[in-house]
Structure 1
Amino acid sequence: MSDLSTFARLDAVAQAELCAKGEVSPAELFDACMARIEALNPLLRAVVTVVDERPPAPKNGPFRGVPFLVKDAMPWPGLRWSVGSRLFAKNIAAQSPPYGAALEASGLVCAGKTALSEFGLLASTETLLEGITHNPWDLSRSATGSSGGSAVAVAAGLVPIAHANDGGGSIRVPASACGLFGFKPSRGRTLGATLASSDFADMTSDHCISRSVRDSALFLSITEDRAANAPVGYVQSPIARRLRIATFTRTIMGGEPTPAVRRAYEDAVALLTDLGHTVEPIAAPATNPDALADAFFIVIAEAISRIVDFVDKTRGVPVQHDELETFTWELVDTFVARGPDALKVARATLAAAARAHVETTRAYDAVLTPTIATEVWPLGYLSPILGREELIRRTSRGIGYTPLHNVAGCPGMSVPLHFPAGGVPIGMHFAAAPGADALLLGLAYELERARPWRDQWAPYSIPALF
């Protein structure tokens, strides 16, 4: 192996073990990471900010010395915090939230920030501020989003693990598109990662995108809010008992997966059956598709409206038209036009959908669906310069499984079980009842053992190219 790929093939736990044994120093891991970013990021555009100099070597922690990247949705002291928007292009963060402090205490070393869609609104990482982030499996395809930069950075071997967050699928969808493991914790499971509050923030979970299940499990153990929940701790082994798993393919918008996705889904059902689990087809939760999509985007629009109002009041100059993308402005304008009852109606719609999901799946240990209903879309398909109605329509076609788990507060995960020859990966999605994070991680370990995916490298990755 060349110098560039020596550490790229190792997950975060393996890199930390080398540090703990004294076989490599944190400085060596960091310098190798920066060399990988310099070599491949100009092509993929996953990383939008890098640190100016090598940070001090951490003295301890389970991830001691491991370089990682932070999604530009979360502040990190001294680094630009743009949230993918021209409005905050020059914003420098002064402090970390409790979540960031826990990451630093674990020994992780921040190398920079990753790209996202503006405010994490769209499922494609294309912004007027940063440009286009490319999928390393097919440069003409989207990395999806909103955590596309984090997924690409891990899939390309730039870092072994990257922070991400998920308000409707933003961890799980990019993980699926890039052939990675993407876990969304239960609501309230982890420490606070935002400095603001809103309904959308309450639906958003912070975690990571990783190549291995153990990296994700360890990451969860260091970010748990132990004052609020019975801790999961570091889950380290496959689940022992056999599960009763519900499954359906109809999306919350009433659609069905494309033939390629259905074939991958049927393969996953066969795998679970071979492993001894009981897989039972059920009817999807009953929802009003149009009302649910509208409610979800109203909640998002309310959060963005708060940001616009805050900037208007604090800087004395209203937010200008060219400081936000077309889609963002249309969301804000629609929310304002709906009047003061819009959020109340949206909350009621989402609460009804959450109840429907819980009631439909109550008798089961887990729920299986595809992660995305279609193959990964081409670049430009979810461009932020398109109109609101068209973007919501296109988004709803592909992102029809994951948002309901944010609404209901459930843990969910995309597992990379299908790698089509010459194509883009297709992930399968599993969800469980709120609080059942350990059950999902145990299932993930079992699936990882049955279908090892760590050595599935994208054509435009460090191990494949160097």
Structure 2
Amino acid sequence: MSAPQSCHSFRNDAIGCDDATALAERVRRREISVTELTQAAIARAQAVEPLLHGLASANYDQAIRTASKLDAADQTGSFPLFRGVPTLIKDNTNVLDMTTRHGSLAVPSVPASDTSPFARQLLTQGFLCLGKSTLPEFGFNATTEPAHAPATCNPWNLAYSSGASSGGSAALVAAGVVPIAHANDGGGSIRIPAACCGLVGLKPTRGRLIDNEAAASLPINIISEGVVTRSVRDTANFFEQAETYFRNPGLPPIGRMEGPSGRPLRIGLVLDSINGHKTDDITRWTVEETALKLEKMGHRIEPVPVPVHSTFPDDFALYWALLAFGIRANGRKLLHPAFDKHKTDGLTNGLDRMFRRQFWRLPTALWRLKRSWHDYAHAMAGFDAVLTPVLGHTTPALGHLSPDVPFDTLFERLREYVSFTPLANATGAPAISLPMGHTPDQLPVSVQFMGRHGGERTLLDIAFTLEANHPWPLLCDFSRNHLGSGEQNTRDSLTNPV
């Protein structure tokens, strides 16, 4: 078998292998200009996009104009922390004058008339938006394989999924195009692509960040906004800066975090989900090894039962189906007057049919899902965090979760794969994905830590600890030996055996 092919854009340019925090510092010290940084990111995107397919749309001309204005502005005074750092915003979130198609042919390509509330909270930190990143239709799938467009490939191995629904953001951050990108999470859509692509992905506590419009209209708000990054400090700094724009007074502040505290923690351990599917061997081993590492550092690890009713998988699946039903039935009101429900994909249509058959179960399912907040809070009272897999098995090859797979088969595959992440969405708890291993095909294998409500500082403390003591490899690490050989923009030079 030939060596797996990876795809990255790391090179000896203005970005190098730096994370967002380092790039922002170099801009502040005037070692690089915002224009140089923006041009480097655009060149990287143009080089890898034919292989990765992570961009839904580009905003390069506007980005260059904005960069030039920032460079020409008065350099005195205070600036946002991430001033001039290039980023991407997921294509289910409005940015003024850019299209928002939610990964679907059913939504027309019409420029947005405003910028969504969360996008404003993100962009106020100084980020410069290069474009929109891809997602599966309406974020319903766990792989970014839209029926109408090329699949977004995993940069570690192009034959595999990048995860979803924030798959485009994760692929392009892992490949080095930008150091940080927007992601959001309604059932694992920050943590799953972060896990597949070897990144840090923190889903915050419900209400931590400003909600976009869709979340406010849900009977249970399962959607959280956030980012995917290559370093823990970028994630920590993003949330600290987000609080300067909006801080929920009902939650303890995250504040500034610069490294691990060294405080011993009591951490629960869950290896198998309650849906009847056993975690695969590589994933299970990675979680167990992470637990051993933490024990050696002085933390206390204890097996615990899953803190949720046995009906949870079916209840959450029905709620997932409700969302598809709602979009197909009300897309013209919710998304655009020209929404065409006849153009939705096989997964959306199948979920819609499933809800119509089972809608009578909805009141009881909603009651139990709402109750899960209290059940979870009670179960977590004696623990600082719980360690689990992110996913039921390792990253699948492209096609395994395609919306073209017959619905019944696809649905069962998704239930087996996405078996750990939805609990944090229903309960509103924070959860973080961290890459702690690799498969023989050089795909990252990640673990999840779930925290108490408002406990992001503890999750970031764990993340800083593991990053410092057991740093995970990045695609950048495999390219460092080549950074001094000159820039090469051909597709062949960016595709290498890992």
Q: TM-score w.r.t. structure 2 length?
A: 0.87
Q: 1:180–1:453: structure 2 CA closer, same or farther, 3 Å change rule? A: same
1:266-281 equivalences in 2 (<5 Å): 266-281=288-303
CA–CA distance in 1 between the matches of 2:479 and 2:400? 22
The secondary structure found in structure 1 opposite 2:66 is coil
The secondary structure found in structure 2 opposite 1:141 is strand
Counterpart of 1:282?
304
Counterpart of 1:33?
41
Deviation at 1:353, TM superposition (A): 4.2
Counterpart of 1:319?
340
Greater alpha carbon shift after TM alignment, 66-75 vs 227-236: 227-236
Counterpart of 1:328?
348
1:147-296 equivalences in 2 (<5 Å): 147-195=166-214, 197-199=216-218, 202-224=221-243, 225-228=246-249, 229-288=251-310, 291-296=311-316
User: What do residues 38-76 of structure 1 show as CA deviations (whole Å, max 9, x unaligned)?
Assistant: 001110111121104124134631001100011112111
Question: Residue type matched to 2:235 in 1?
Answer: S
CA–CA distance in 2 between the matches of 1:83 and 1:144? 16
| Aligned residue among 101, 108, 111 for 1:82 | 101
Question: Residue type matched to 2:136 in 1?
Answer: S
2:67 is the counterpart of 1:47: no
CA–CA distance in 2 between the matches of 1:244 and 1:259? 25
Deviation at 1:420, TM superposition (A): 4.0
CA–CA distance in 1 between the matches of 2:333 and 2:32? 50
Question: Residue type matched to 1:399 in 2?
Answer: V
Greater alpha carbon shift after TM alignment, 253-262 vs 263-272: 253-262
User: What do residues 136-163 of structure 1 show as CA deviations (whole Å, max 9, x unaligned)?
Assistant: 1111111111111111011100110010
CA–CA distance in 1 between the matches of 2:439 and 2:150? 28
CA–CA distance in 1 between the matches of 2:215 and 2:308? 33
Structure 2, unaligned runs of 5 or more: 1-8, 74-78, 484-492
Counterpart of 2:397?
378
Deviation at 1:274, TM superposition (A): 1.1
Q: 1:234–1:96: structure 2 CA closer, same or farther, 3 Å change rule? A: farther
Deviation at 1:445, TM superposition (A): 0.8
- The percent identity for this pair of structures is 34
Deviation at 1:36, TM superposition (A): 0.1
The secondary structure found in structure 2 opposite 1:123 is coil
Counterpart of 1:309?
329
Question: Residue type matched to 1:213 in 2?
Answer: V
The secondary structure found in structure 2 opposite 1:199 is coil
Counterpart of 2:486?
none
The secondary structure found in structure 1 opposite 2:279 is coil
Question: Residue type matched to 2:422 in 1?
Answer: P
Q: 1:13–1:319: structure 2 CA closer, same or farther, 3 Å change rule? A: same
Greater alpha carbon shift after TM alignment, 134-143 vs 221-230: 221-230
Counterpart of 1:453?
472
User: What do residues 325-347 of structure 1 show as CA deviations (whole Å, max 9, x unaligned)?
Assistant: 011012223323434x4432221
Q: 1:43–1:317: structure 2 CA closer, same or farther, 3 Å change rule? A: closer
8 Å contact kept, 2:203–2:226: yes
The secondary structure found in structure 2 opposite 1:188 is coil
Question: Residue type matched to 1:152 in 2?
Answer: A
Counterpart of 1:13?
21
Counterpart of 1:428?
447
| Aligned residue among 403, 407, 412 for 1:393 | 412
Q: 1:347–1:454: structure 2 CA closer, same or farther, 3 Å change rule? A: same
Q: TM-score w.r.t. structure 1 length?
A: 0.92
Structure 1, unaligned runs of 5 or more: none
Q: 1:126–1:403: structure 2 CA closer, same or farther, 3 Å change rule? A: same
User: What do residues 168-214 of structure 1 show as CA deviations (whole Å, max 9, x unaligned)?
Assistant: 11111111111111111001001123356343771111100000011
